[in-house]
């Protein structure tokens, strides 16, 4: 791990290089506030209903208007971010840990066990990501743990395939061969030399899965297969707003803009992390 952390630098010679570190700090700070302290952004209860003020257009105090139950859309979007980031971070972290374990340990074991795991990963990769998530949700029902599980299952094969590729190529590096010649055990080589080198591209590409996970959660919730309706979610907000698109287009426009902007922000974060780990040389 030490090698991977030491290689993380901010020396981007491009015109945007000097802004990368402040950009990441601002992004992470904003994510923290929206995810853990949404009450600082909005003082309205996202589930409070006010039928007399239903379908009100955007105005001072209700920045995104109100929905068909009179609920403040801005508050629902802000609190929905907490749901999305919780699911995204949980699924990406779990998928990364399991994918790295599968992609590094089973090639070390080898034999028919490794071959069986490879074929199973190929089967999972054969399914489109969202379709696989829909199958899992349809089988186990709507809940936050199920959404995390569905997204995790779709991400594990991609992380495992990348880890296996980098791990296999690392075994032939000079310092690894020197460690083997000095009598180091394969487990020690794997933990001390192989994994630190393999984690750099894995960390870089796993950061890009955050945006994918957010889109997947929103898609599942929009289809009615995601989180329960009593929990604010961007997908459920868009689903409810789509029914009133002609009379209240703000119910879809503003949440869609926030969702799109969030994906762009995570894309910029991914590019910065890729540069820092040496996995990319382009903005």
Total count of residues recorded for the chain:
283
The answer to whether residue 89 sits within a structural domain is yes
The 3-state DSSP class for residue 62 equals: strand
Kindly tell me if the per-residue pLDDT of 13 is higher than 60. Answer: no
Residue 224 pLDDT level (bands cut at 50, 70, 90):
confident
The answer to whether residue 282 sits within a structural domain is no
What per-residue confidence (pLDDT) applies to 39?
73
Please tell me the total count of domains within the chain. 1
Lookup: tokens for 31: 């994510």
Kindly tell me if the per-residue pLDDT of 14 is higher than 70. Answer: no
* Interatomic CA distance for residues 112 and 16, integer angstroms: 49
* Interatomic CA distance for residues 31 and 219, integer angstroms: 21
* Interatomic CA distance for residues 82 and 204, integer angstroms: 23
SS3 content of the chain, % helix, strand, coil (to 5): 70, 0, 25
The answer to whether residue 39 sits within a structural domain is yes
Lookup: tokens for 154: 């779709």
What per-residue confidence (pLDDT) applies to 59?
85
* Interatomic CA distance for residues 173 and 73, integer angstroms: 55
The answer to whether residue 281 sits within a structural domain is no
Output the domain CATH number for residue 109: 1.10.3720.10
* Interatomic CA distance for residues 276 and 7, integer angstroms: 7
* Interatomic CA distance for residues 169 and 194, integer angstroms: 9
Contacts of 275 (CB under 8 A, 6+ apart): 12, 20, 281, 283
Residue 145 pLDDT level (bands cut at 50, 70, 90):
very high
What does the DSSP 8-state code read for residue 39?
A: G
CB-side exposure of 14: number of CA atoms within 13 Å? 13
What per-residue confidence (pLDDT) applies to 220?
92
pLDDT digits (tens, 9 = 90+) for 134-144: 999 988 888 89
Print the domain residue range for 74.
2-276
The answer to whether residue 128 sits within a structural domain is yes
Average pLDDT (97-121) is 81
Q: What is the pTM of this model?
A: 0.80
Average pLDDT (182-187) is 68
- Evaluate the CA torsion angle 58, 64, 66, 67 in order and state its sign: positive
What per-residue confidence (pLDDT) applies to 87?
92
The answer to whether residue 203 sits within a structural domain is yes
Q: Which residue has the tokens 């000079």?
A: 174
Q: Are 34 and 82 a contacting pair, CB within 8 Å?
A: yes
Average pLDDT (249-269) is 87
The answer to whether residue 63 sits within a structural domain is yes
Kindly tell me if the per-residue pLDDT of 4 is higher than 60. Answer: no
Phi-psi region of 222 (alpha: psi -120 to 50; beta: other; left: phi over 0): alpha
Kindly tell me if the per-residue pLDDT of 6 is higher than 50. Answer: no
The answer to whether residue 283 sits within a structural domain is no
């Amino acid at each position: 791990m030490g090698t991977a952390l030491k290689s993380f630098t901010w020396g981007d010679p491009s015109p945007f290089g000097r802004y990368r570190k402040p950009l990441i700090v601002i992004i992470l700070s904003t994510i923290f506030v929206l995810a853990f302290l949404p009450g600082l952004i909005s003082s309205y209860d996202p589930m409070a209903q006010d039928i007399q003020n239903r379908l009100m257009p955007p105005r001072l105090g209700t920045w995104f208007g109100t929905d068909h139950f009179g609920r403040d859309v801005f508050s629902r979007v802000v609190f929905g971010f907490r749901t999305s980031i919780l699911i995204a971070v949980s699924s990406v972290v779990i998928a990364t840990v399991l994918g790295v374990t599968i992609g590094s340990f089973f090639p070390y074991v080898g034999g028919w066990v490794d071959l069986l795991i490879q074929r199973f990963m190929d089967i999972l990769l054969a399914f489109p990501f969202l379709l696989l998530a829909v199958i899992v949700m349809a089988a186990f029902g709507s809940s936050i743990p199920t959404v995390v599980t569905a997204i995790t299952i779709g991400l594990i094969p991609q992380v495992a395939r990348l880890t296996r590729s980098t791990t296999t190529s690392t075994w032939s590096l000079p310092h690894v061969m020197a460690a083997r010649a000095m009598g180091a055990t394969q487990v020690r080589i794997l933990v001390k030399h192989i994994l630190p080198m393999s984690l750099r591209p894995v960390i870089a590409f796993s950061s890009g899965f955050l945006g994918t996970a957010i889109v997947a959660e929103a898609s599942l919730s929009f289809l009615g297969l995601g989180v329960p309706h009593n929990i604010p979610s961007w997908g459920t907000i868009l689903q409810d707003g789509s029914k009133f698109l002609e009379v209240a287009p703000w119910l879809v426009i503003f949440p869609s803009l926030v969702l799109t902007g969030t994906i762009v922000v995570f894309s910029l974060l991914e590019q910065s992390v890729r540069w820092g780990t040496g996995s990319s040389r382009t903005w």
